[in-house]
Amino acid sequence: MAFPLPSPMRRALGLASEAAADGEVPVGAVITQGERIVAEAKNSMRGLLDPTAHAEMVAIRAAAEALGTSRLDGCTLWVTLEPCAMCAAAASIARLDAVRYAAEDPKGGGVVHGARIFAQPTCHHRPDVLGGIGEEESAELLRRFFGERRGRG
C-alpha cells in the first residue's frame, strides 16, 4: 500500500522540477519547524555562479535568517536527494533535528554513501535520518534530466 507523500517532500519535489526547468540539477529542499515551512530552495549553482548553492545549503541559510539563529533546533530538512558531504556537514553544524530525503545518491551522497558524515566520530550532532520518501518521483526527475543532457531523453 502506497502512502501519500508528506507535504514538505511534495513541495521539495516541485522545487526540484523548477530547478530542472532552470537547467539546474533537479534537487529541492524544504525546512520545516513543526508543520510550518520556514525555508525552501532549489539547486542554484549555475544561476548564482556559486558551487555551494546546493538546495540544502540555500535552504539552511534562509531558515537561519528567517528564524534569526544559526541553530535550527526543532527543524527538519526535507530534500529530494541524499545530501552530499558538504550539505550533511552543514545540517549537523546547523543542529537540524532530522533529515528526510527521497532518492539515495551512491555516487555523491554523504549520509548513507561516501563520507557518511553522521557516522564519523568527529560529527558533533547527528540528526535523525530517514530516506526513501518520494524516492521514485525524485529518481525519475533525475533520470529524465540527465537523459536529456546525454541525448537519451
End-to-end C-alpha distance for the chain, whole angstroms: 30
56, 65, 135, 137: the active-site residue = 56
- Residue 87 marked in a binding site: yes
Instruction: Give yes or no: 104 in active site.
Output: no
Cell readout for 94 is 546547523
CA distance linking residue 76 with residue 93, whole number of Å: 13
Residue type, 126: R
DSSP string over 88-123: HHHHHHTT-SEEEEEE--TTT-SSSSTT-GGGSTT-
Residues in the chain: 153
- Residue 123 marked in a binding site: no
Q: Which residues are catalytic?
A: 56
- Where is the binding site, in residues? 54, 84, 87
- Where is the binding site for Zn(2+), in residues? 54, 84, 87
